[in-house]
């Protein structure tokens, strides 16, 4: 990435940045897991709701199509003209 030879200026900056790690607050992981879990559950619930909503819509559309049968030809409303007798 930065080539073969390390730039001495960059090395100096790296040393400046590289300090001792601060101590993590003991409850940070637990708090993050709790809030992340809440977000996860909420997202899952939203996905589930959306899925079932779409499924219900699909079923309703199919049932309606079964009753209406839009693929059959409409019955003729007008008698065809009688010709040639």
Partner 1 sequence: MVSDRADHRDRLRALEFDAFVAGAGGRLLHTATLLTGEPPQPPGAYPRAERLLHAALCRTYAEWDRLHGGDPYDLARRELALRFAREARRHQRPRGGLLERLTPVERLVLVLRMYEEVGEEQTAALLGLPGDRVRAVCARAVAALRSAGRGRTAPPAGGRTAGAGRRGAA
What residue ranges bind partner 1 (CB under 8 A)? Answer: 1, 9-10, 12-14, 16-25, 28-29, 31-33, 35-37, 39-40, 43
Instruction: CB nearer to partner 1: give 5 or 21.
Output: 21
Instruction: CB nearer to partner 1: give 23 or 73.
Output: 23
User: At 43, phi and psi to the nearest 5?
Assistant: -65, -40
d(CA 57, CA 38): 29
What distance, in Å, lies between the first and last C-alpha atoms of the chain?
94
In whole angstroms, the minimum distance from the beta carbon of 58 to partner 1 comes to 22
In whole angstroms, the minimum distance from the beta carbon of 66 to partner 1 comes to 31
In whole angstroms, the minimum distance from the beta carbon of 13 to partner 1 comes to 5
Q: Is the dihedral of CA 6, 2, 15, 8 positive or negative?
A: positive
CB 28 within 8 A of CB 20: no
Instruction: CB nearer to partner 1: give 42 or 64.
Output: 42
């Amino acid at each position: 990435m930065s080539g073969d030879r390390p730039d001495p200026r960059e090395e100096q900056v790296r040393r400046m940045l590289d300090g001792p790690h601060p101590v993590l607050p003991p409850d940070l992981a637990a708090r993050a897991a709790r809030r992340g879990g809440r977000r996860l559950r909420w997202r899952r619930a939203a996905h589930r709701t959306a899925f079932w909503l779409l499924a219900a819509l699909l079923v309703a559309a199919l049932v309606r199509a079964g009753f209406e049968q839009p693929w059959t030809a409409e019955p003729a409303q007008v008698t065809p003209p009688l010709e040639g007798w």
